[in-house]
Structure 1
């Protein structure tokens, strides 16, 4: 079994594990059934990829998205790993290549969509292949009431039993209920070793804003971040096209994406987003799940997401490289009404509808928060934190007021009108606006008429929005969206509880730009040149730019300015295979023409054996004709020098065995070589 620390550096180019990764890797490596809940961008894939390389046999990876599988296979191959995918998107040649790699015993990771498990051929193939582990990505898809349920995930438990191998399940979002369902369906109810690695993504700036000309709000947000890759999520297909056109007219590179597009057109957008720097995609929530793009700098929601899990997953597509990223979520009363109605008119049983309303309440609680948003978000997932300093409410605290009397007045107006009217009519009653409808219904004669003149009409709009957000009132789909009181409001109405609300939060201010520049002004031209080289190499190979190197690696190159391949090997994300493939090309951008190294020496780049090899080569050159310079020329091949540098023998007999030198070369080089090795 290989050493995971060594492979982490050699293959992936990482100097060490991220927090929480090593314990999971060791559990999976030991063959224990494992469930790991890790934040998006926390390095989930490494936790099954690295053990797969250390273990004998094939690791089967069940993943729900073809684009994501192809992405990971491409990245693994670029790092020198034998990986393949069996998907409906394969060409015949790709499928034949995967079968050949299985037959030859070369394949280490085999990616499959869950739907493929339905075919008897797939089960037969996996029985014949040397499968020693199953990894399940996006394990929350097994939850029948979750937002991403995939029926074929229910077959994975059967596969585990049939192959009798350990299973490691991974997900970024799973509440307690979903975790229990994962254990039941994937592990037959037997508790796996579970790792809950936290949900915090401290590099992501959180911000919400009440809708006020949302198109202009999105355009202002994008304008302040021009040139950065971003995603705008909308609730409807039509809005994706309108907003994308508006962004293009404002000078941005932007396109739209939704489920109603032809498959080939959607694929073109995905490829553009993967390969172009600074492209904005305006999309429905169908977009992004299959794209492992590490350098998305911002995510904006033009409409309220469906749930707090959906929100968390969608903003999680930003800043996967660990660098600063930003979010903005717009919402308003219409969003709340839409989401409530979608739940009430759905086909789920009553208990599930109640749970969905609870999830929506959690999201609205985050939207209407009066203090640090990250504390509210993490609290939903059962975690506590101190104020984060990286959200809009930490940047600019909101003003709150005792709204108990205002809420009681609003509830009274709702009840006295029979719970048959929406916020607009109720506000007219409260502010004493005797419209034709108010007079026609006789509502100008109610005791509540004009009792709310202390607040403006927009301020009352904010009160009603927050009452909906706190689930004190709900739109009734059977009464054309009229507001009705919930049980949660009764203590306030009876004077048994008080409530504080935010002052009207509609503002033209857009959250500050948290991601100003990725490097200093001095290093910016070099970073641009490195990105241009990356783009050229990626286009030549037909792969996404980040498969060559992610932004984080180029930023480190621009800041450290490595002068040699040894220096380059120390840059995060530069493994042995990528050093061989791209090292010289990027060194040439940084320093001009790069030194040419023999392949044997290049394999030692960045390792302690490298300088030893160099010193042995110098000694060999000095003693080429002996100490007096008159002897017969003798030399060793670069491959033998590499073996000696790696093995570091300490005696002449060991040196002879490692390098197969023979008497003449031992006499010429032996003592001098041992001196070099001793000094090292």
Structure 2
């Protein structure tokens, strides 16, 4: 589509006629204008903020092909399908292609037959590929998921370091690096490693106001998850993250037994099994994928209505990126996390046992500490998340701590009791125990170990009997999060840190958030359990019937073409069609997200569905 006699030649023309939108959002217009004119750019923009258009439109408008570097080979074909569906000439060059297909794409590159071509970083830096690109007219380089070049970030990919070659080998080709996940330190590092010091930097707000953040204490986490799905997201697409492959398998199996259409995804599955699970999630409505963090980067499915974590994420960066896969269409979505004391102990042990330098482990501990602080905050979750990325906002009114502000209490005396128990075990007995045994000592609860080690003779035996085990675990979890105690050894024995001294001496008062002894079921605040219910909540019954008919039609189209449903039309576009009920092609063409090619290809069929519904 690079400019020809009948090709739109301005970014605004491409936005309207190709992608079907009338207006740019946020910084899009300024970024696109800068890159189209040949400038380098570093773009930090939240998932769902429209990053892709920031390189797609300049690639279409500029002479030559746009080379997009992406770490996700498995998703490249879906990205190509989505572009071809709106009339953009696109291809990918990766290890899934056979020799004949590779040669065809390479020849197409040389002949300037493409607007965009997707490459993995490991392929791009090969001598053969660089030699090929020397013979190609290149319009721009787009480096997607650019945070992968930051060695101290949460998702470092070694192959990304080789991308610095682009600056020296193709000095006249503009480069745009994009990511949705970067702290100020990661931002600086990716700029340096990609040699983009002279680039313009565009930093959008990381806020995703349509996502409701909720964090709860674990109490039969699988049942808590199922209650969330059943009451708020029945029939919706969602992602459930677990820390281990075993937990992924167990959770997916259990959800299927409860009637949820769930598939498992982790690195231990065969390539064909992972591909089939991903295919179903992307191309069918209402599929829930249960996965390790190996799943999700680059997923462009706009109608994911919830992302749930059954285990504590290792960092706010990872958590933000994973939750950002919900609600890319801008419609309401839920980010739900259940975590407990054992999560904290397990992750700290994983860090302590990990390979790498002490500096690396120090960084990992800081990441975990920030994640724990988010979980235990009594303030707005969104304020804390954005502050981590260097941005300040007012409380959002759309997270659990805003909607149901937690109570706090003076926990100084109970914490002193707990710290004293740890001190006495260590100094008087030379013993160190995990949270479970410490709590049993405080509550005066006998067990095999207390009998074996005569813990009932300690002066701290039973001094915390007035508090339940649930309350004590909440105390331990919170003072771990605050760095007052830490864990050590294979079994997560509790030890004091220097921060414990002032509390033991009575020099500091400690306020903690209250933890109910019984789990409190959060009301869904009127959310109705129905497929795509959050998406279509504003439609009346008549318009919902049209929406449901359009989704059924879309499913048939997607299956026939073997593409994800959103490649035909995303939910947001179907909702707008259902609301407006167009009766002519002209009226349908005014709907946001319907460009000329889709209007020509699907217009009459869509109008027929609307009339019949």
What TM-score, normalized to structure 1? 0.84
Structure 1 or 2, whichever has the larger Rg, is: 1
**Equivalent position of 2:92 in the other structure:** 85
- The aligned counterpart of 2:37 is 30
Shift in Å, 1:177: 1.8
Residue number in structure 2 paired with 1:651: none
Kept in 2, the 8 Å contact 1:325–1:515? The answer is no
Q: Does 1:476 align with 2:488?
A: yes
Structure 1 residues 117-516: aligned runs within 5 Å: 117-164=124-171, 165-187=173-195, 190-224=197-231, 225-418=233-426, 420-435=432-447, 437-477=449-489, 480-505=491-516, 507-510=519-522, 512=524, 516=528
Identify unmatched segments of 5+ residues in structure 1: 594-680
TM-aligned CA distance change 1:432 to 1:467, over 3 Å: same
CA contact (8 A) 2:281 2:289 kept: yes
Contact in 2 for aligned 1:234/1:284 (Cα 8 Å):
yes
Q: Which has the higher contact order (CA 8 A, sep 6+)?
A: 2
Question: 1:112-138 CA distances to partner (integer Å, 9 max, x unpaired)?
Answer: 000102421100111100013111000
Given the superposition, is the C-alpha separation of residues 592 and 221 from structure 1 closer, same or farther in structure 2, using an over 3 Å criterion? closer
- SS across alignment from 2:398: coil
Please say if residues 115 and 152 of structure 1, whose CA atoms lie closer than 8 Å, have aligned partners that are also in contact. yes
Q: Partner of 2:6 in structure 1?
A: none
Q: Provide closer, same or farther for how the CA distance between residues 493 and 570 of structure 1 changes in structure 2, counting only shifts above 3 A.
A: same
State how many pairs are aligned: 591
1:51 alignment counterpart: 58
| Residue 105 (structure 1) aligned with residue 112 (structure 2) | yes
Pick from 550, 566, 569 the counterpart of residue 589 of structure 2: 569
- The correspondence of residues 644-663 of structure 1 with structure 2, limited to 5 A, is none
SS in 2 for 1:195: strand
Higher mean Cα deviation, 426-435 or 519-528?
Answer: 426-435
Write the distance in 1 (CA, Å) between the matches of 2:474 and 2:546.
Answer: 49
Indicate the SS of the match to 2:387: helix
**What are the ranges of 5 or more consecutive residues in structure 2 without an aligned counterpart?**
4-8
Alpha carbons 1:270, 1:291 under 8 Å: kept: no
Q: Does 1:15 align with 2:22?
A: yes
1:520 is aligned to 2:540: yes
What is the aligned partner in structure 2 of residue 532 from structure 1? 552
Match of 1:545 among 565, 568, 572: 565
The whole-number CA distance in structure 1 between the counterparts of 2:310 and 2:234 is: 18
Measure the CA separation in 1 of the matches of 2:224 and 2:116: 45
How does the TM-score come out when normalised to structure 2? Answer: 0.93
Task: Give per-residue Cα distances to partners, 1:364-397, cap 9 Å, x unaligned.
Answer: 1111111221111111111112121111122211
CA distance in 2, matches of 1:96, 1:530: 40
Residue in structure 1 matching 2:71, options 59, 64, 71: 64
